């Protein structure tokens, strides 16, 4: 998971350092968080009265995307290190 602001900044970092050593880079918030924990935090932030329930348990171990090569090759840094931090930036103000 990664916030769109980080995606945009990563693309600018790639363009600014082009050509790069690698042809493909992973992009994911560096602090791993499970989908369950992320969505629980989103529900809590929305102050929803209904808890989130997941009907099926994961049968495979969680996977983590390592996205440090982009940072090393371009000097890019994440605005939102943990995807849960990005939730406040996604809140719609009414």
pLDDT tens, the chain, 94 aa long:
889 999 999 999 999 999 987 888 999 999 988 888 888 888 888 775 566 565 556 566 677 788 889 999 999 999 999 999 988 887 765 5
User: Residue 77's domain spans which residues?
Assistant: 4-55+64-90
What is the predicted pLDDT for the residue at 15? 93
Give the model's pLDDT for residue 50. 62
Domain count of the fold of the chain: 1
Per-residue confidence (pLDDT) for residue 59, from 0 to 100: 62
Pairwise CA distance, residues 22 & 86, whole Å: 28
């Amino acid at each position: 998971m990664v916030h769109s602001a980080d995606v945009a900044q990563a693309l600018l970092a790639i363009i600014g350092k082009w050509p790069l050593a690698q042809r493909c880079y992973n992009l994911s918030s560096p602090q791993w968080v499970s989908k369950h924990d992320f969505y629980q935090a989103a529900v809590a932030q929305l102050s929803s009265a209904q808890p989130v329930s997941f009907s099926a348990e994961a049968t495979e171990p969680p996977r983590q995307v390592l996205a440090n090569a982009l940072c090393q090759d371009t000097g890019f840094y994440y605005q939102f290190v943990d995807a849960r931090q990005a939730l406040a930036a996604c809140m719609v103000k009414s």
